[in-house]
Amino acid sequence: MDDDLKHIVNLLVEDDVKGAYLLVLDVTTKVRFHCGSLGKITIPKGLYLYVGSALGVGGVKSRVLRYFNRPLVGKWHIDKLLNTGKVSIRAVICIFSSSRVESMIYNELMRTGFKATIKRFGSTDTKDETHLLYSQTSLSNTIARISSILFKLGLRFRSFLY
């Protein structure tokens, strides 16, 4: 599954385009792991969103593709979660913008009913509470809600589902 999604992103996302991204994650069973300065973390089974930025070298494509090459080096909180082996990437939403938009996206996701999870997870470089959100709905409903939010915000994006 991950290889198919990786191949699709690799083919359809242009190189070096800056922006942000959302990973839709299926945590298949309760996960416990150590996450650097956040300490010991427990994440219940369920559907989650991770909001990330991709303004550096390589842009969105480079940042997203690295998540399919496991084990990850463990540089970021999300790496540690993905390295547990109990999480699959069900969808990737690539947002194309030269501006830093992940906080704007996070705030709109929170306003529309997605739930904050672990404080400071993935958000230590922003004022946001977290960048790992819980979705209380199905995968298809979650994607539809995200698409609606991104349209409303006037952002250009592409969704990849598996």
What does the pLDDT look like over 41-98, one tens digit per residue?
Answer: 999 999 999 999 999 888 998 888 888 887 887 778 999 999 999 999 999 999 999 9
CB 72 within 8 A of CB 50: no
Question: In whole angstroms, what is the distance from residue 129 CA to residue 16 CA?
Answer: 29
Question: In whole angstroms, what is the distance from residue 25 CA to residue 35 CA?
Answer: 17
Q: Does residue 101 carry a pLDDT above 80? A: yes
pLDDT of amino acid 17? 87
pLDDT of amino acid 2? 62
pLDDT of amino acid 14? 79
pLDDT of amino acid 12? 65
Work out the burial of residue 39: count CB atoms within 10 Å of its CB; fewer than 13 is exposed, 13-18 middle, 19 or more buried. Answer: exposed
For the chain, what's the residue count? 162
**pTM for this model (two decimals):** 0.91
pLDDT of amino acid 1? 53
Q: Give the mean model confidence (pLDDT) for residues 18-34.
A: 96
Q: Does residue 5 carry a pLDDT above 80? A: no
pLDDT digits (tens, 9 = 90+) for 125-147: 889 999 999 999 999 999 999 99
pLDDT of amino acid 131? 94
Between 14 and 113, the more confident residue is: 113
Domain boundaries, the chain: 2-161
